[in-house]
A and B are shown apart, each in its own frame.
Chain A
């Protein structure tokens, strides 16, 4: 195989992997603290993308549009917690998970009312041109996707590892009972992680819109991709989710190069099955608790 084709697969794979990792990390932060699978995560991506495109079309600079969209997606995460998860806190985690599906449908319905069936797109951030390297083409938005995702992931690691609030979140994830008795409000931490997940979704939405058009109904496929990344890598560890995103991105990039598009989903499913048969709790899950 031509080296330039391998390079092209690699670049596309890293790009997709970053997007899936960002999606998966939204699941990770919520699940680690609340043990709820937030199936509305993809809707935050949709809102992030649609709002960035809308504000941009109104003449707001693209970076500022993205920042506003991320803030609104974070706020939406807070609303999901306050309006759905907190009132249902005494119900089972499975019920709370199903309630997030209801929230996802509600957001999708509102998005349809606001934006209609219309697809929206954006130019590359700061109109970055495509780069040609070693016979492969790097789309101008790719460095933005990779860079912003890396920045967000690094920020997340620094926050969890080096700040007191991050440690308090880890304490809730590790042992909610112990956390409560030393004065940590698990409810408040739960609100924070939903806001964080919303913001992560918003980031993913804003950065992918120049690459792929967004519409009111992209939330569900994004949720599935994020879930796959989280479960392939192991939803209990951030590193696992990033690895899962990368594995999934690479696999999809290779499948896109070698197979007709209708087989892409089958390929992704084969990977998922293979991982679950060999490592039922994901590639990097050490605890075995999923």
Chain B
């Protein structure tokens, strides 16, 4: 009996240790989250954890709820059920601008640049989260505000250099190509110095060379310590750079594993990979066969 108790104690101690390790390495936790729009359940009881420093790709067919999950993390949509935790802080109760100041920024699929501002100004505004000069200070151009603005300008230029757009800093977004606009959106998001960067379809509308360049850039950001969560339709590219892959279908989580495990699963490989992602009905049909 004593042996059994000591064995149980060891097990519990081991589990606690493991849990503590998981907690310290996890940056974002989605716990049983759901959201419904009327009768349509867009996300249904999804849970997963993102580890600090990882690149996580969410893949799945159209309407799987991938972009909805990004919007839920950013606070742009309210949760119907569940919890979202980021750095031991609950995200789903706070407004979007505060979430950004905690270190979560997003690059939208349709970019959402500020059309009446130059690219440099767009990126400078991205630094807004870490400024502490108030409205009056800035309005009166007091020395502290002036120094901060100069610092912000330098920071914005360095982010534009990182994405290779420093030459186009003074252009309006409408004068840039699609891929350049995407990179501007990325520079703006990076200006906020995020811990977690959310990318919605980063490869959408890009050519093969541009995709390769963007992949290199994403990997470089990972090396710089930024954790990345991306939603992507292009499964090959998404698996190529990811450490973790989450597959969603009809709002439900189908798989959460490493790219190697995902590729080695015949069922998933057949139905969700290979350039074509099937919907749940097709999967059920294939499974019944």
User: Which residues does A use to contact B, with CB under 8 Å?
Assistant: 159, 163-168, 170-171, 174-175, 177-186, 192
B112 touching A183, Cβ below 8 Å: no
Residue in A closest to B101 when the chains form the complex, CB atoms: A183
Q: What residues of chain B lie closer than 8 Å to A177, measured between beta carbons?
A: 76, 112
- Determine whether B16 belongs to the interface, using a CB cutoff of 8 Å to chain A: no
User: Which residues does B use to contact A, with CB under 8 Å?
Assistant: 74, 76, 95-98, 100-101, 105-106, 108, 112-117, 121, 124-129, 131, 133-135, 138-139, 141, 145, 148-149, 152, 188-189, 191-192
Minimum-distance CB pairs A-B, first 3: A183-B129, A183-B100, A178-B112
**Given A164-B124, A181-B74, A170-B152 contact (CB < 8 Å):** no
Q: In the assembly, what is the distance between CA of A168 and CA of B141, in Å? A: 15
A182 touching B100, Cβ below 8 Å: yes
B114 touching A175, Cβ below 8 Å: yes
Q: In the assembly, what is the distance between CA of A163 and CA of B134, in Å? A: 11
- Report which of A163, A178, A183 forms a contact with B114, defined as CB distance below 8 A: A178
Q: In the assembly, what is the distance between CA of A6 and CA of B138, in Å? A: 43
Q: In the assembly, what is the distance between CA of A263 and CA of B158, in Å? A: 61
A182 touching B126, Cβ below 8 Å: yes
A170 touching B141, Cβ below 8 Å: no
B138 touching A164, Cβ below 8 Å: yes
A167 touching B106, Cβ below 8 Å: no
- From A159, A163, A185, A186, name the one whose CB has the most chain B CB atoms within 10 angstroms: A163
A184 touching B139, Cβ below 8 Å: no
Q: In the assembly, what is the distance between CA of A192 and CA of B139, in Å? A: 11
Residue in B closest to A286 when the chains form the complex, CB atoms: B116
B124 touching A185, Cβ below 8 Å: no
Q: What residues of chain B lie closer than 8 Å to A167, measured between beta carbons?
A: 117, 121, 124-125
A–B pairs, 12, beta carbons within 8 Å:
A159-B138, A163-B138, A163-B145, A164-B133, A167-B117, A167-B125, A177-B112, A178-B112, A182-B126, A182-B189, A182-B191, A186-B97
Q: What residues of chain A lie closer than 8 Å to B108, measured between beta carbons?
A: 178, 181
**Given A171-B125, A182-B126, A192-B74 contact (CB < 8 Å):** no
B76 touching A180, Cβ below 8 Å: yes
**Extra pairs beyond A168-B128, A170-B116, A183-B192 (14, CB < 8 Å):** A165-B133, A166-B139, A167-B117, A174-B114, A174-B116, A174-B117, A178-B108, A181-B76, A181-B108, A182-B188, A182-B192, A183-B97, A183-B129, A185-B97
Q: In the assembly, what is the distance between CA of A159 and CA of B115, in Å? A: 19
A184 touching B125, Cβ below 8 Å: yes
- Report which of A174, A179, A192 forms a contact with B115, defined as CB distance below 8 A: A174
A180 touching B97, Cβ below 8 Å: yes
B113 touching A178, Cβ below 8 Å: yes
Residue in B closest to A192 when the chains form the complex, CB atoms: B135
- Report which of A164, A171, A185 forms a contact with B131, defined as CB distance below 8 A: A164
